[in-house]
């Protein structure tokens, strides 16, 4: 006890009171908001668990804007029609404002965490419009003067839309879309602007490092603002929120390309829900901590480059223990509220990168896998036709769960590439409406092997499930494609004929190639992903991590 008293007295002299060691450590660390004072606001989320003094001190020490994680979502504010319950949200907002934080509102309209009475089947279009507008106006008006900006609409665009030039056709088939139609987007923005003319109005979405999805959002905002150039003195949509739920395999070049795209709209851009997955089971190795830090550093160097166009960068979670992705350790603080290497990477990206130069060089020495495609034109239904081709082992896992895996063999002729994939340990489940969550094989092709961080006209993704149902990215890749499947117990075989689209195939040509196996669970959700070379998880939009095939004749 005496030792504890002495320590407290020492602490009181150094930090103004008998603070805990965690508080002392936190106060000694340079503030993130001060480090970025000349760049953009630094934000984080706040919820009921963050209301205690220690967690709130971390929030206010390092951040100057807060987003309510859940309290302001539709189901919590108006679970019953006409009955608005603002108690919890007011508590979050009022405490933030009293502690000197700005507040960003999240969210007025979303296809999730919204009560069914608003837009479910059986609700007329007229009633759905009234429900949407009334909710947006009432909520925005209630928080007027306390909330500086809103995620007016969240996640309205479908993942990887095939024709992003048509943004209406790219909209998610959500209850709001089904009840009202594509114009629900403008309806909710106009309602919010009417209720609070001073707040900045954002469209917010995830996976906007995907060029196709980013293009659809770009076209939506461009079209709406061109048709609504002066709504209370400015275009209807003030900003685009790039959520930023990333991993250490996210390519910063794709993030930068999307930033540039949205900046060209003359709107504000914010990174609204940033976290970087790098861990399993709530634990990280020392190498994973450094890898995660380098990913944060690379991202913040991009953000700093475009700082004059960025309103804020908001982290999605104070610490790993309270994160929605806690198993993947995605935040800057561990579950004991101690700063991780990621914190110092954000604090000074260049310094952190320089200090870990040897780690980077060691990591970059990893060689890209190479194999051969052997000359020959096979019968798709005869596996023996591939006997001369070497086996490509599809057994490196992107996920902690190790499920279905297998091998691939590749042949070629002047017109086509032929792939035979044999899959083992599969559930044979295609119940999920998302094709990538069904038991299936995916082939990624980069014909000119340029390994770009985005898809060019020579790049394509081909997916075939065990029941021989195919999907393509882009959709034009379906032309001339053929496939055949055979199932035996918990194994299946897929053979594919993939036409060359941009190159003249000849001996010695190198093409970018990868093969992936999606393993579904018995419940119909994807639980494992095995791949040959590219462990980034981004092969569907980025060819830089693909392996290499050499076309040979034997």
Least Cα distance to 167 among 109, 219, 128, 224 occurs for: 219
Helix axes 53-62, 21-28, angle to 10 degrees: 0
Between CA 503 and CA 509, with CA 508 as vertex, the angle to 5 degrees is 25
Least Cα distance to 528 among 407, 425, 419, 420 occurs for: 425
| Catalytic (active site) residue 155 | yes
Least Cα distance to 498 among 445, 429, 541 occurs for: 445
| Catalytic (active site) residue 361 | no
Q: Give the single-character DSSP code of 332.
A: S
Both tokens of 384, joined, read: 């023996």
| Distance, CA of 13 to CA of 136 (rounded, Å) | 50
| Distance, CA of 83 to CA of 117 (rounded, Å) | 12
| Catalytic (active site) residue 446 | no
Per DSSP, the three-state class of 437 is: helix
| Distance, CA of 258 to CA of 244 (rounded, Å) | 12
Task: Give the contacts of 288 (CB within 8 A, at least 6 positions apart).
Answer: 248, 278, 279, 329
Q: How far is CA 317 from its chain centroid?
A: 15
Least Cα distance to 255 among 311, 314, 295, 312 occurs for: 295
CB 533 within 8 A of CB 511: no
| Distance, CA of 260 to CA of 257 (rounded, Å) | 5
Its sign, for the CA torsion 469, 473, 476, 479, is negative
Task: Give the contacts of 281 (CB within 8 A, at least 6 positions apart).
Answer: 327, 400
DSSP letter for each residue of 15-79? HSS---HHHHHHHHSPPHHHHTTTT-EEEEEE-GGG-SHHHHHHHHHH-SEEEESSTTSHHHH-S
Ranges of H-type helices in 211-250? 211-227
DSSP bridge partners of 513? 445, 547
CB 504 within 8 A of CB 415: no
- In the set 155, 238, 439, 447, the catalytic residue is 155
Report in angstroms the alpha-carbon separations of 80 from 33, 151, 371, 533: 39, 22, 60, 51
Phi, psi of 520 (to 5 degrees): -85, 155
Per DSSP, the three-state class of 287 is: helix
Enclosing H/E stretch for 364: helix 357-364
Ranges of H-type helices in 125-271? 125-142, 175-180, 184-195, 211-227, 252-263
- In the set 196, 205, 427, 514, the catalytic residue is 205
- Which residues are annotated as catalytic? 155, 205, 273
């Amino acid at each position: 006890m005496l030792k504890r008293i002495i320590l407290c007295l020492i602490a009181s002299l150094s930090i103004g009171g008998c603070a805990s060691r965690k508080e002392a450590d936190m106060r000694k660390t340079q503030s993130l908001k001060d480090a970025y004072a000349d760049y953009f606001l630094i934000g984080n989320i706040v919820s009921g668990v963050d209301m205690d003094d220690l967690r709130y001190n971390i929030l206010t020490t390092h951040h100057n804007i807060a987003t309510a994680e859940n309290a302001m979502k539709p189901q919590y504010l108006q679970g019953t029609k006409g009955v608005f319950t603002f108690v919890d949200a007011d508590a979050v907002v009022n405490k933030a404002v009293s502690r000197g934080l700005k507040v960003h509102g999240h969210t007025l309209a979303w296809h999730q965490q919204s009560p069914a009475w608003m837009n479910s089947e059986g609700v007329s279009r007229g009633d759905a419009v009234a429900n949407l507008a009334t909710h947006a106006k009432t909520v925005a008006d209630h928080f007027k003067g306390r909330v500086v900006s809103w995620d007016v609409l969240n996640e309205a665009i479908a993942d990887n839309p095939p024709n992003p030039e048509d943004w209406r056709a790219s909209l998610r088939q959500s209850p709001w879309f089904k009840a009202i139609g594509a114009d629900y987007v403008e309806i909710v923005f106009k309602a919010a602007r009417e209720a609070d003319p001073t707040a900045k109005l954002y469209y917010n979405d995830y996976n906007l490092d995907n060029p196709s999805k980013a293009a659809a959002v770009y076209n939506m905002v461009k079209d709406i603002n061109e048709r609504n150039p002066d709504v209370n003195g400015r275009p209807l949509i003030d900003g685009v929120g790039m959520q930023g739920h990333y991993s250490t395999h996210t390519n910063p070049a794709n993030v930068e390309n999307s930033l540039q795209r949205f900046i060209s709209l003359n709107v504000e851009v914010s990174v609204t829900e940033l976290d970087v997955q790098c861990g399993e089971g709530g634990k990280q190795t020392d190498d994973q901590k450094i890898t995660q830090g380098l990913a944060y550093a690379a991202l913040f160097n991009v953000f700093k480059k475009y700082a004059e166009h960025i309103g804020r960068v908001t982290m999605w979670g104070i610490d790993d223990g309270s994160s929605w992705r806690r198993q993947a350790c995605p935040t800057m603080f561990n579950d004991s509220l101690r700063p991780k290497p990621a914190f110092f990477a954000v604090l000074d990206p260049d310094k952190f990168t320089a200090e870990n130069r040897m780690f980077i060089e060691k990591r970059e020495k990893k060689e890209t896998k190479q194999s051969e495609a052997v000359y020959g034109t096979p019968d798709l239904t005869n596996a023996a036709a591939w006997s001369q081709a070497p086996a490509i082992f599809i057994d490196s896992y992107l996920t902690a769960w190790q499920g279905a895996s297998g091998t691939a063999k590749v042949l070629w002729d002047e017109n086509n590439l032929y792939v035979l994939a044999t899959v083992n340990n599969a559930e044979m489940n295609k119940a999920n409406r998302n094709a990538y969550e069904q038991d299936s094989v995916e082939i990624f092709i980069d014909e000119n092997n340029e390994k770009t961080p985005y898809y060019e006209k020579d790049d394509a993704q081909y997916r075939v499930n065990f029941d021989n149902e195919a999907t393509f990215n882009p959709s034009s890749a379906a032309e001339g494609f053929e496939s055949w499947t055979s199932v035996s117990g918990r194994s299946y075989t897929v053979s594919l004929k993939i036409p060359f689209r941009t190159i003249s195939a000849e001996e010695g040509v190198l093409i970018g190639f990868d093969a992936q196996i999606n393993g579904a669970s018995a419940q119909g959700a994807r639980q494992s992903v095995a791949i040959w070379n590219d462990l980034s998880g981004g092969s569907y939009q980025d060819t830089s991590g693909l392996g290499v095939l050499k076309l040979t004749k034997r």
